[in-house]
Amino acid sequence: MSGGAFWNFSLAVYRDPAVQRECLELQDRYGIDVNLLLFCAFVGAVHAALLSADEVKQAASAVAEWQRDVVVGLRGVRRALKPLAQDKAPPGAAAAALRETVKAAELEAERIEQQMLERWAAERLAAWPRAEPPAAVAANIRALFAVASAPPDLPTHLIAATLAAGGAAPGGRH
């Protein structure tokens, strides 16, 4: 599964279990779209670009239907299959195989959403103000949290992993 710079960045950042826990907690407690969270981090770390709350809303709107109808739908199916997949009897084995298929489809749906966000950003990137990557990442996540009514505490593991990956990414600023 190949992807663009955003997808590769996300894979590098999200491999850290502490980042996964932070992102999933924000998703489950506050309804934060993890792809949108990673997008805000990516734009700040790799492009040093600042997003306003309105631009975060526009980005969310650009992928809202896909996120709701496809990604969340597949996630629901995958989670519903989990208890069945743990049964060692024949229906359980079949459910486990189906769950793996759905999990792969969910991951592909996530990648497609990231492509949509990356394309959306490419059309606007030149007009966005710039800041040093640490400030841009924090500001972009704060803008997302303001839109989503999430807590004011920033995800520290995500920010650290983002800044490390942003510097190593092609086109990274540091």
pLDDT digits (tens, 9 = 90+) for 9-47: 999 999 999 999 999 999 999 999 999 999 999 999 999
The CB density around residue 72, as the number of other CB atoms within 10 Å, is: 16
What average pLDDT does this structure show over 79-106? 94
pLDDT band at 169 (very low <50, low <70, confident <90, very high): very low
Cα(65)–Cα(114) distance, rounded to whole angstroms? 14
Query: What are the φ and ψ backbone dihedral angles of 141, each rounded to 5 degrees?
Result: -70, -40
What average pLDDT does this structure show over 108-125? 97
Structure confidence at residue 172 (pLDDT): 45
User: What are the structure tokens assigned to 78, written together?
Assistant: 């995958």
pLDDT band at 133 (very low <50, low <70, confident <90, very high): very high
Contact 139, 50 (CB under 8 A): yes
pLDDT band at 173 (very low <50, low <70, confident <90, very high): very low
Q: What is the pTM of this model?
A: 0.91
Q: Is the pLDDT of residue 1 over 60?
A: no
All structural domains of the chain with their residue ranges:
5-168
Structure confidence at residue 114 (pLDDT): 97
